[in-house]
Amino acid sequence: MKLLRLATTLNPTSAPYNQFSLGFRSSIEQTYCSLFQNDLSIEHDIKVFHGDGSILKMIRILRKLISSQHYDVIHIHSGVMGVILFLAIFPLRISILKKTIFTLHNSWNIIKTRNQILNLIVMLGVKKICTCGKSSQASIPKIINFFIGSKINSVVNGFDHLRIDDVEKNKIGTGHFKKDSSLKILCVGALNNTKNQSALIEVLKEIKINAEVIFLGDGINKKTLIKAAKEIDPCTKIIFKGRISRNLTIEHMLEADVSISLSKGEGLPIAVLESMYAGCFQILSIIPPHKEIAPPSSRCIFVDASKNEDIASSLHFVEKNIEVIRAEKESSRIYTMNSFNLDNMLKEYMKVYLSLLNPSDSS
């Protein structure tokens, strides 16, 4: 099978690359196209083409690829790349849409209006649609679902446990947290309003806990968050490390005691799944994607991210019960392995791919 994968970016946090391309690297011949220039070296047998942000250049790249190659499936991972594909194949190769699939990687309500419009255009045009879980599917407005509902498959996100095992096996001796930190807390995600790191910072300004908190990610709120963090009591050490490689992120997860996500919206967050498998206790906001993951009650506290007292209470709980939390890491690993194995996700996507190759066999 030859597959053309279309995504906006190719970077250390790109799900289309980390979950899909790497997951299928030994079973599907893949070509990965991104609108923006890559900032990640590709070490696997995956053909890569990228633009420089120019839509016209990307149209030319896609036209050349599609005219010279026979792709069995085209998998679109963003609305903008889907529209660029439509422009590239119009009008002479419009029949290619019969072999297209689009993945909605987020919940509809947290997508910007412009991207909602682009996503809608693409969802109306493609043959198949997959959402990254039931909560993502449920977030699609009813009026839109009326027109596209028959195309949708809900496929729960999976994570690559073998990658985490490999990082753990080959992890260098140098720690990312200080050895004497009594509580190691990790926050992974873009520094923006949706990810809502400000809620945690505001609570840490009000309470005293002996902890080290590391933020991984970059974004528009970075300067504001760093400034606010300076008002936190010195007994809580705050570190902003920016965006780092996925393997380094996993190393942090393997060291951390607690992973916190107070996000206002998600798709089905891979970082939560990875940190659970790495053994982290979870403090999660009460949103449908987090509830869909449903970690064991002994390994998670759900909080109302709009209530400082909820967040503060959860932090005091983990500080008080840190020894038990560290002793029960394995239960998080077992749960995620059973429920969110990447192989399960890839099997479901392979079924969708094959249904495009053999429409008569499609259910």
- pLDDT per residue as tens digits for the range 3-23: 999 999 988 778 899 899 999
Is 332 in the same domain as 352? no
241: nearest Cα among 160, 169, 305, 177: 177
Is 8 in the same domain as 148? yes
Is 62 in the same domain as 170? no
Q: What is the mean pLDDT of residues 220-236?
A: 96
Count of structural domains within the chain: 2
Q: What is the mean pLDDT of residues 55-84?
A: 96
Identify the pLDDT of residue 171: 82
CA distance 168 to 173: 11
Is 115 in the same domain as 48? yes
289: nearest Cα among 121, 122, 75, 104: 104
Least-confidence region, from 70-74, 170-174, 344-348:
170-174
Is 214 in the same domain as 262? yes
For residue 285, give both structure tokens. 């906001």
Is 266 in the same domain as 316? yes
Q: What is the pLDDT of residues 331-362, one digit of tens each?
A: 999 999 999 999 999 999 999 999 999 776 55
Is 335 in the same domain as 349? no
Residue indicated by tokens 């942090």: 252
Identify the pLDDT of residue 14: 86
Q: Are 48 and 23 in contact (CB under 8 A)?
A: no
What residues make up the domain containing 65? 2-158+342-361
CA distance 239 to 181: 13
Least-confidence region, from 23-27, 37-41, 214-218:
37-41
Q: What percent of the chain has pLDDT over 90?
A: 87
Q: Looking at per-residue confidence, does 363 or 27 come out higher?
A: 27
Three-class SS state of 258: strand
Q: What is the pLDDT of residues 175-212, one digit of tens each?
A: 899 988 899 999 999 999 999 999 999 999 999 999 99
Is 347 in the same domain as 322? no
173: pLDDT confidence band, cut at 50, 70 and 90?
A: low
Identify the pLDDT of residue 362: 52
Identify the pLDDT of residue 363: 46
Three-class SS state of 283: strand
Q: Angle, nearest 10°, between helix axes 161-170 and 246-255?
A: 70
CATH at residue 55:
3.40.50.2000
Sign of the Cα pseudo-torsion (267, 165, 340, 356, in order): positive
